[in-house]
Chain A
Amino acid sequence: SQQGEEDPQALSIQEGENATMNCSYKTSINNLQWYRQNSGRGLVHLILIRSNEREKHSGRLRVTLDTSKKSSSLLITASRAADTASYFCATDDPLTTGFQKLVFGTGTRLLVSP
């Protein structure tokens, strides 16, 4: 299975601190996406990074991608209580299942305390 594995499984920090989550995957990819899931809700797309990109920013989010290590990281800076959620990476597999089919990682549960 290409399912990504994320670590840590759970992360607890204080407001204002930075949160870093890591994702590892197994096969070549075209894109890697990060999603957030609030409790009881569906997943929400955060950011996409293409295989030829190494770093991408969006607001307080910073994503890096290292295709040689088959890994990505998501950094949330100056975290807020509202960032409390689960975060998932998702990869495609252009060689087998095409661009549209995504495989989601196991997720990191982030708790940001006031």
Chain B
Amino acid sequence: DAGVIQSPRHEVTEMGQEVTLRCKPISGHDYLFWYRQTMMRGLELLIYFNNNVPIDDSGMPEDRFSAKMPNASFSTLKIQPSEPRDSAVYFCASSPRTGPGQPQHFGDGTRLSIL
């Protein structure tokens, strides 16, 4: 079975540019999560969706960040305009609907560098 697929794997862009990160969750998973990982702050939850609806976006750092999930098989995380401090590895994860304590399945991340 295909796991969570993220694209691109690496992105290098200049400050001020718009960045769009993409995620395809595992088919049949109802929850989708976006995380950011840095050395300083560790792994932080940015936002998560249930059945394509945003449930908790309290981790989104600023209005420059936005996330959408137009259908069950696709989500985007957009940064506009990007800043050097946004440089990090961004992970998408999904989990199935059934019950508490479900493990999350992570993609391999997008390594983002803002120059």
Given the known A-B contacts A33-B101, A92-B100, A97-B56, are A42 and B106 also in contact in the complex, defined by CB atoms under 8 Å? yes
Decide yes or no whether A104 CB sits under 8 A from chain B.
yes
- A31 touches B (CB below 8 Å): yes
Given that A50-B101, A92-B101 are known contacts, is A101 also in contact with B106, CB under 8 Å in the complex?
Answer: no
Contact of B103 among A48, A50, A106 (CB under 8 A): A48
Tell me the A39-96 residues at the B interface (CB within 8 Å).
Answer: 40-45, 48, 50, 88, 92, 94
A: number of interface residues (CB 8 Å): 25
**Complex: how many Å from CA A31 to CA B4?**
23
Q: Name which residue of chain A comes closest to B6, CB basis.
A: A42
Of chain A, the residue at the smallest CB distance from B97 is: A100
Smallest Cβ-Cβ distance to A46: which chain B residue: B103
Q: Mark B46-61, 1 if CB is under 8 A from A, else 0.
A: 0010100000100000
Q: How far is the CB of A21 from chain B (nearest CB, A)?
A: 15
Question: How far, in angstroms, from A41 to B9 measured CA to CA in the complex?
Answer: 10
Give the residues in chain A near B50, CB-CB below 8 Å.
Answer: 100
A30 contacts the other chain (CB 8 A): yes
Q: Check A11 for interface membership: any CB of B closer than 8 A.
A: no
Q: Which residues of A contact B (CB under 8 A)?
A: 3, 30-31, 33, 40-45, 48, 50, 88, 92, 94, 97, 99-107
Closest 5 CB pairs of A and B: A99-B100, A42-B106, A45-B103, A31-B101, A104-B43
